[in-house]
Chain A
Amino acid sequence: MLATIGVADVEDLFADIPASVRLLRDLRLPPAPSDAELLAELRAFSGQNADADRYVCFLGAGAYDHFIPSVVWHLAGRAEFVTAYTPYQAELMQGELQATYEYQSLLCALTGMEVANASMYDGASATAEAAVMARDLTRRSGILLSTAVHPEYRQVLRTYTAPLGLTVTDLPHEGGVTTPQAVRDALDGETAAVVVQHPNFFGRLEEVRALAEAAHAAGALLVVAVADPVAYGLLQPPGALGADIVAGEGQPLGNHLNFGGPYLGMLATREAFVRRMPGRLVGATVDARGRRGFVLTLQTREQHIRRERATSNICTNEALNALAAAVYMAALGPHGLRQVAEACVRKAHYARERLCALPGFGLAFPGPTFHEFVLTCPLPPERLNDGLQSRGILGGLPLGPCYPDLDHGWLLCVTEMRTRAEIDRLVEAVAEIAEEDVR
């Protein structure tokens, strides 16, 4: 090979790198183990973590432990999908392209929207991109952001919008929900979008239709952020309630918890807004012989062509996770997804009722919830969590750090994965810990 190239040594191929910046020593990295040793080491790392198989998990807050049917990753995990690249050569990649087209279709069916893209990074960044999209569509620069939206989504939205000169104003929640009156009071002629989450961070259901009407009356768009789209197996989807953009997290649809990633950002909107939508899109077309085929389309929106005028820099997305989400939705179908959502509601409600019956415990925000709810506790939730850990249970998320007025607030999540026996164990443990605390 060297002779064909016409050099004497591989080193000659690096001759154009200035000598002063050549690394003249070995990299200081740990010596390489064998595969067996490496796996043993990683198994030891993984064994130090309290995963949802070893601990009973009541954590939610943007990452959900739903049942993943075996078929999901047996199919999404096929090497022809896993080791493929972005479908730049459509004729060789009809499988990926059709699967993405079907993902877009399934997401539209679930959210009640007209177009969906091929995925974004995660729910938080998708929500931020939705705000930027609303600015482009309305040519206005104000964003009203409900404080009942996931705190990390709100942080990401602020990070994304600050350099673009958007003004983000907090909309206070009242009793755990965003009120249409609060929206009307805060709206002005510069408001590009009202951003709410449904079901929201506290598990409460927002009055999406009334919020949409309020936003539209002032010429603003309604962006609905979603942390768990499984809810729309049962609940009216935002598209049917007047939402203009749905941005959310697709992890709950067949993707693993993965300590926070990879997840997938969902973005869906109205047909009229498609040319302002960031991210990849797959469209159906025909080939030279008139047969149906699929291609990446509307690429003039993308950075390959628009460069510094692009509305988004998305290049790599989360295609494999979107594929898993599509297989999941198709595996459960309309009735299966409804059954998952119903089991979530029933089990969460059962847990909620039983916990609220304990002395000193109550709901921070009475009213209907999906699979999450906020309890007020007679002792700091951190102390409850400590006690639960020693009993093999991962308790809820203490809300004090993000919501100082909820310093004894405890956000619990009950998915269809939790059995009645596990819920009962939680309730008994909480009762014991609270009682010990009093003594």
Chain B
Amino acid sequence: MTEHHGIASAGVSAPPQEAPRRPDADGIPLLIEQSAPGRRAAAPPASDVPPVPLEAILPPAVLRPTPPPLPEVSELDLVRHYTRLSHRNYAVDLGFYPLGSCTMKYNPKVNEDAARLPGFARLHPYTPGPLAQGALRLMAELEAMLAEITGMDRVTFQPAAGAHGELTALLMVRAYFADRGERQRTRVAVPDSAHGTNPASAAMCGYEVLTVPSDRRGNIDVEALRRMADGRLAALMLTNPNTLGLFEERILEVAELVHGVGAQLYLDGANFNAMLGITRPGDQGFDLMHTNLHKTFSTPHGGGGPGAGPVAVKAHLAPYLPVPVVERDGDGYRLDYDRPKSIGRVRAFYGNFAVLVRAYAYIRAYGPLLRQVSEAAVLNANYLLALLRDAFDLPYDRPCKHEFVLSGRRQKRESGVTTRDIAKRLLDYGFHAPTIYFPLIVEEAIMVEPTETESRETLEAFARAMLAVAEECRTQPDLVRTAPHTTPVARLDEVTAARRPNLRWRLPEDPPA
């Protein structure tokens, strides 16, 4: 078949002797490799003011001698490039994403429409308060709803992500103790099953990190915690349900212990999807927490963000919230900057507002029925666990909450196949793999979170794939070890990528450094 000027010839041609090569068989060229001088995809508004020579406005020395070396492509080139890249992506809208601790649920499209309303998307952050009442009211109402859901008193929306919320929370703990003259509190306790961001956030806040072991039932080891709990402890950072998907059975004892030495109890709210309307962290004794709005209250993850990590606190910590906070002012709302004990700011402006709009729409759409979200999430997780529990090792045999952790150690011992291999083989079955090698306390960990939005049929199809891979581990271990076989690229060489980093394209005149 020949092509002229992009129009396929109408003539009859012989069928190809071999299967045609897909245009992206060797990968999609980089944009810079598609560049041709003079092409352009978009024309910006022209200048319509009287033409003054540029040199009369700016000294020549400040100007770039040559324009930035960006690619020159047409709009169609650009559309095809990114559309083809998008075809090489896995996404919730394409399939099941059982990533434990990441809560990859379906995000209702109505939220997207809400966030794109021009009164939100086109609103400048320094618009005077009286002209931004709709945005401020949305924030105030979302704060009230989150306070009710978490059992807390006040909320800051400034943190842009969960880990950013952790940092913000610890800065508030630090400010609280500095205010009370308790500067000897230099330590933060973190369970060994915690998200890696917990110890990293504590370190960024200048704290010494104490690692608390887990006990045999997957709870925090209360006796070990007791030995660490003294006047030097500032806070315990706890995830509940924890990263094993288990509720901390002795939570009240833990809260009493932490408060008994005057420390603060912090909740990493990454797993809050399991608890909506069932139990409130504020009622369990937590003093402050972050919520991952993008997980629990549904913003699409965007390939790694944006998210939002608002921090909710009990009243005694409210004076330390970042500035500004939204306050009621007569019939309206205003931003309050006059908060002398505030930790300051952790971000410019007020947070990831468009994510707040989505969370607001999501919570309103459920209202008091929010509890059903968590019930379904927990039911789905336990059902999937029941389907898989015989094929893999189960390190902690308890009813799980919204996620559970299996171990591939049996497969590794019997066939030499690792959890990484199993994850890669699942890709051939058309599923994204679960979270692997986390939490660190489980050997060859496989962490599965189905979420409430998946159907029974999807859960069963995924279980069949997992069971088939378990069977392959016994019968054809090499097939698993060399997976994936059907993805656009085969297993990638991560060692070379790290040893000889190639982190950007280089033009011919721009040799590797």
B134, B355, B488 interface centre (most CB from chain A within 10 Å): B134
Cβ B43 vs Cβ A313 within 8 A: no
User: Could you jot down 12 A-B contacts, CB within 8 Å?
Assistant: A75-B79, A81-B303, A85-B97, A87-B304, A109-B68, A115-B501, A235-B58, A316-B306, A320-B304, A327-B78, A336-B44, A338-B64
Asked whether any CB of chain B lies closer than 8 Å to the CB of A331, the reply is yes
Given contacts A121-B161, A256-B121, A291-B489, contact A50 B127 (CB under 8 A): yes
Instruction: With A89-B432, A339-B43 given, name 10 new contacts (CB 8 A).
Output: A16-B399, A28-B148, A42-B361, A54-B118, A105-B32, A316-B292, A316-B305, A316-B309, A330-B78, A332-B41
One of A173-181, A184-192, A298-306 contacting the partner? A298-306
The total of chain A residues at the interface (CB under 8 A) is 197
Q: How many angstroms between the C-alpha atoms of A181 and B128 in the bound complex?
A: 38
Once the chains bind, are B126 and A21 in contact (CB under 8 Å)?
no
Q: Which residues of A have CB within 8 Å of B343?
A: 159
Q: Is B277 an interface position by the 8 A CB rule? A: yes
Question: Considering the complex, which residues of chain A in the window 1-34 have a beta carbon less than 8 Å from any beta carbon of chain B?
Answer: 1-2, 4-7, 10, 12-18, 20-23, 26-33
Across the interface, A291 reaches (CB within 8 A) one of B27, B68, B132, namely B27
Q: Chain A 331-354, CB within 8 Å of chain B: the 1/0 string? A: 111111111101101110110000
Q: Which listed residue, A38, A104, A259, A312, touches B349 by the CB 8 Å rule?
A: A259
Using Cβ atoms and an 8 Å threshold, which residues of chain A touch B464? none
The answer to whether A316 and B121 touch (CB under 8 A), given A21-B279, A274-B501, A307-B196, is: no
**Which of A76, A94, A109 meets B88, CB within 8 Å?**
A94
Query: Cα distance A53–B387 when bound, in Å?
Result: 54
Contact A237:B64 (CB < 8 A) given known A26-B371, A50-B127: yes
Task: Give the shortest distance, in Å, between A72 (CB) and chain B (any CB).
Answer: 8
Asked if B325 CB lies within 8 Å of chain A CBs, one says no
Check B44–A346 contact: CB distance below 8 A.
no
For residue A372, CB closer than 8 A to chain B, the reply is: no
- The reply to whether the CB of A52 lies closer than 8 angstroms to some CB of chain B is yes
Q: Once bound together, how far apart are the Cα atoms of A55 and B118, in whole Å? A: 12
Partner of B424, one of A30, A91, A116: A91
**CB contact list, B439-459 vs A, under 8 A:** 456
Chain A min CB distance to B60 (Å): 10
CA distance A124 to B125 in the complex (A): 14
Give a binary string over B48-82; 1 marks a CB under 8 Å from any A CB, 0 the rest.
11111010011101111101111111010011001
A67 within 8 A of B: yes
Query: Shortest CB–CB separation between residue A149 and chain B, in angstroms?
Result: 11
Which residues of A, 145-199, contact B by the 8 Å Cβ criterion? Answer: 150, 152-153, 155-156, 158-160, 163-165
Contact for A261 among B40, B73, B128, B306, CB less than 8 A? B306
Asked whether A308 and B199 contact (CB < 8 A) given A46-B134, A285-B494, the answer is yes
Minimum distance in angstroms from B428 CB to a CB of chain A: 10
Interface stretch, picked from A57-65, A214-222, A356-364, A429-437, is A57-65
A55–B128 Cα gap in the complex (Å)?
12
Bound-state Cα–Cα, A62 to B126, Å: 9
Does B257 lie at the interface of the complex (its beta carbon under 8 Å from any beta carbon of A)? no
Q: Are B91 and A82 in contact (CB under 8 A)?
A: yes
Residues in B whose Cβ lies below 8 Å from that of A323: 302-303
**Complex interface: chain B residues within 8 A of A94 (CB):** 27, 85, 88-89, 488-489
Task: Determine if A16 and B70 form an interchain contact, defined as CB atoms under 8 angstroms apart.
Answer: no
Chain B residues with Cβ below 8 Å from A329 are: 70
A299: B residues at CB distance < 8 A: 498
B48 A420 Cβ-Cβ under 8 A: yes
Q: Which of A45, A93, A320 contacts B137 (CB 8 A)?
A: A45
Residue of A nearest to B360 (CB): A42
For B467-507 the 0/1 string (1 means CB < 8 A from A) is 00000000000000010100111111110111001111100
For B121, the closest partner residue in chain A by CB is A256
Tell me the minimal C-beta distance from B434 to chain A in angstroms: 10
Are B40 and A295 touching (Cβ within 8 A)? no
CA distance A84 to B357 in the complex (A): 20
Q: Which of B42, B114, B386, B490 contacts A71 (CB 8 A)?
A: B42
CA distance A96 to B352 in the complex (A): 22
Smallest Cβ-Cβ distance to A46: which chain B residue: B119
B382 at the A/B interface (Cβ < 8 Å)?
A: yes
- B117 on interface, CB distance cutoff 8 Å: yes
Cα of A2 to Cα of B380 in the assembled complex, Å:
10
Q: Is the CB of B73 within 8 A of A333?
A: yes
Contacts of B132 in A (CB 8 A): 48-50, 259
How long is the Cα–Cα vector from A75 to B79 in the complex, in angstroms?
A: 7
A45's nearest neighbour on chain B, judged by CB, is B134
Instruction: Report Cα–Cα, A26/B276, bound state, in Å.
Output: 10
- B69 proximity list for chain A (CB < 8 A): 109, 334
Closest to A317 in B: B305
Instruction: Give CA–CA (A257, B198) in the complex, Å.
Output: 31
Contact B160 A318 (CB under 8 A): yes
- Residues of the B chain whose Cβ atoms lie less than 8 Å from the Cβ of A108: 504
Interface presence of B197 (CB below 8 A)? yes
Residues from chain A with Cβ under 8 Å of B197 in the complex: 303, 313, 315
Interface centre among B58, B124, B369 (most CB of A within 10 A): B124
Does residue B225 face the partner (Cβ distance < 8 Å to A)? Answer: no
Question: 9 smallest A-B Cβ distances: which pairs?
Answer: A46-B119, A260-B349, A320-B302, A48-B134, A260-B125, A262-B306, A32-B367, A319-B304, A334-B67
